[in-house]
A = this chain, B = another copy of it.
Amino acid sequence: MTLKELAQILGLSPTTVSRALNGYPEVSESTRRRVAEAATRHNYHPNVQAKRLATGRAMAIGHVIPISTQHEIVNPVFADFIAGAGEVYARAGYDMIISIVADDDEEQAYRTLRSKGNVDGVIVHGPKRGDPRPALLDELGLPYVVHGRVSDYAAPYAWVDVNNTRAFERGTAFLSDLGHRRIALVNGLESMDFAARRREGYEAALAARGLARDPALMTAGEMTEAQGYDAACAMLSLPDPATAFLTSSLLSAMGVRRAIEERGLALGRDVSVLTHDDELSYMKNGTELPIFTATRSSVREAGRICAQMLLDRIAAGPEAPIATRLLEAVLVVGQSTAPARHLIAS
């Protein structure tokens, strides 16, 4: 069923039908109703390709994923974000295009996307310090919103981010309030903007409390179970061992837990663990893991916000002012962050 056919049936011109369907004002209400009714009755759906060609808009948003951004896509954080964004796109009649590219081809991927014209805008995932993408996209004139921030990009750009600095500042302060003085940081790769910000928050809190910043209690790397395990093994074996851990990932926290248990220490009694949770929504899958405490933010919600911001931006045109959005993480306190036993005793 094409527009032409539908028009024929109604005894109208394709123009009028098009106008009626797209909500143009100059169509009489009676005609509009007739057209709408006929459209649903004949199960008419405009051909997207034709629409795209005629309007020049792709009606699609791109997500470019370098193949080995540590399997970005396999990251539940990413997946949850995508789910949120997808909801928004679907509601707006936009397609979501996921583009998996070899690492070296990322720049070319954006250029191609641009010149082939198969997206109206893109979301930038996993920004690093010194990330080249904002500059590239600005140059290409391809609308974008960054999920996270590129702290050292000078020009204004649209972003949606969790307040990582503040989350880790508060987490550290919280552990300090419990009496801990040896608070370890098990962080993600600090080339990533979010991880750098987390460290900054951690350090700010230490400084504010007059606690020493001990490199032996700070580690950064791939956020895996093994990372947490290895880090905790080392930090629990120090002459002046860690009594609390602040980790960047639930996986790392699980590794920390394993190290703690192996030593016969009690979680939440001898040692406290606090983790910033983005993955929890996946890991717990509806059931609370009682062993962890988390600062919790909704990645899916971030996806929705990011997507909506991009659509708004596309609709508003390139001259419109640039929006940003900072989401606060919620500190959720659980068993594993009780004051350490020996701290109470002393």
Contact = CB atoms under 8 A, between A and B. Distances in A.
* Identical copies of this chain, number: 2
Interface residues of A, number: 58
B80 A71 contact: yes
Interface string A1-25: 1000000000000000000000000
Given A49-B53, A49-B58, A222-B285, A79 B83 contact: no
A45 B76 contact: no
Interface stretch (A94-102, A195-203, A204-212): A94-102
A292 to B, nearest CB: 11
A338 interface: no
A73 interface: yes
A65 B58 CA distance: 22
Interface string A67-100: 1001101111011101100110110000111111
Contacts of A222: 285-286
A179 interface: no
Contacts of A82: 73, 98
Interface string A89-120: 11000011111110000000001100111100
Contact of A74 (B49, B50, B80): B80
A261 interface: yes
Contacts of A283: 225, 251
Contacts of A50: 53
Contacts of A52: 49, 52-53
Contacts of A47: 53, 116-117
Contact of A67 (B83, B254, B261): B83
A41 interface: no
Nearest to A62: B95
A282 interface: yes
A134 B100 CA distance: 27
13 contacts: A46-B116, A48-B116, A74-B80, A76-B79, A79-B79, A89-B100, A90-B99, A96-B99, A97-B98, A222-B286, A224-B284, A226-B284, A261-B261
Given A43-B111, A226-B284, 4 more contacts: A49-B52, A83-B100, A225-B287, A226-B285
